Amino acid sequence: MNEFSASLLSAEQLSVSVDHKILCTRLDWQVMPGQFWCVLGRNGIGKTTLLHTLAGLVRPASGRVEIQGNPIGSIKPQQLARLRGLLAQQQADAFSSSVLAAVIAGRHPYQFGFGWDREEDRAQAMQALQRVRMDAFSEHDVMRLSGGERQRVALATLLTQDPLLLMLDEPTAHQDAAAQIVVMELLHKIVNALPRKKAVIAACHDINLVARYASHVLLLGDGQTWQGSIDKVLQPELLQAAFGCAFEVLDNGARRMFMPLADTVSASA
């Protein structure tokens, strides 16, 4: 058992690339139960590719990813689906399905053979829909939903899958302000539920939502990364290095807000 064995997920000397372009190099990183990590960085910096690599969908350029101390490639697919689940940034539906049927699909890692869905699976799916405030849409066709509604259904499917590690690519994309709060509040509650066994990794673009709800940040810049607690990483000088513009910090005593300054945007941003 190595030094990373207490973590849900660990990256060891991980390098990630796309078309021979290195996006992330020699990353050492641990995600522990009870932590809510947000991955921040400008568009195109590699947040999605990093998430897909951590989920085992993309082979790293070098290094390794482990879940509960085991190399991700050595874990059988059904067990891996119980350990980690991934919410993609967009959902592509090839055919019509009820919302409830789409969410029940999250129970497949716990089913065997070709039996019918169990009543307990339906109950878990409905509970997940309630948590994302989509239970009234249970009989609707997924292909007739708005982008934001479809994304919340996908989140309900991930909740029904019930992995220990929830990985989400822009979970507040396509959501209005109220729905963004619902999603982030829910993720915050999941990682803080006792006993703390789950963790969340979410690629995000809204710095102020991250500051309000996350516990830790992995900040991606050109050729470098910064990681740690919210207070450690959400610093104006680090955000400027990552995003290419200066930030003003507004502090009302309860929380900090980060406002980008338009007249400081660099030509490369």
The answer to whether the CB of 217 falls within 8 A of the CB of 183 is no
Does pLDDT of 186 surpass 70? yes
CATH at residue 88: 3.40.50.300
Note whether 187 and 176 are same-domain residues.
yes
Note whether 127 and 214 are same-domain residues.
yes
**Number of folded domains that form the chain:** 2
Within a domain: 1: no
Q: For 117, which DSSP code?
A: P
The answer to whether the CB of 211 falls within 8 A of the CB of 258 is yes
Does pLDDT of 164 surpass 80? yes
Does pLDDT of 64 surpass 80? yes
Identify the residue whose tokens are 């830790």: 216
pLDDT tens digits, one per residue of 81-126: 999 999 999 888 989 999 999 999 999 999 876 556 789 999 999 9
Does pLDDT of 53 surpass 80? yes
Does pLDDT of 60 surpass 70? yes
Q: Which amino acid, residue 255?
A: R
Q: What's the mean pLDDT in 162-180?
A: 96
Q: What's the mean pLDDT in 69-73?
A: 96
**Encoding tokens for residue 162?**
């019930």
Does pLDDT of 67 surpass 70? yes
Q: What is the pLDDT of residue 97?
A: 95
pLDDT tens digits, one per residue of 193-225: 999 999 999 999 999 999 999 999 999 999 899
Note whether 97 and 193 are same-domain residues.
yes
Note whether 132 and 247 are same-domain residues.
no
Per-residue pLDDT band at 267 (split at 50, 70, 90) = low
Distance of alpha carbon 145 from alpha carbon 137, whole angstroms: 9
Q: Helix or strand or coil: residue 14?
A: strand
| Mode of pairing for the β-strands spanning 9-18 and 21-31 | antiparallel
Distance of alpha carbon 73 from alpha carbon 50, whole angstroms: 16
Note whether 42 and 143 are same-domain residues.
yes
Which of 78-87, 234-243, 256-265 is predicted with the least confidence, judged by mean pLDDT? 256-265
**For 228, phi and psi rounded to 5 degrees?**
145, -165
Within a domain: 3: no
Q: What's the mean pLDDT in 64-69?
A: 97
* For the chain, counts of helices (H) and of strands (E): 9, 12
Does pLDDT of 15 surpass 50? yes
The answer to whether the CB of 188 falls within 8 A of the CB of 36 is yes
Per-residue pLDDT band at 269 (split at 50, 70, 90) = low
Q: Which residue in 65, 47, 52, 89 sits closest to 219, CA to CA?
A: 47
Mean model confidence pLDDT for the chain = 93
The answer to whether the CB of 10 falls within 8 A of the CB of 65 is yes
Instruction: Find the domain containing 179 and state its range.
Output: 9-234
Q: What's the mean pLDDT in 145-170?
A: 97
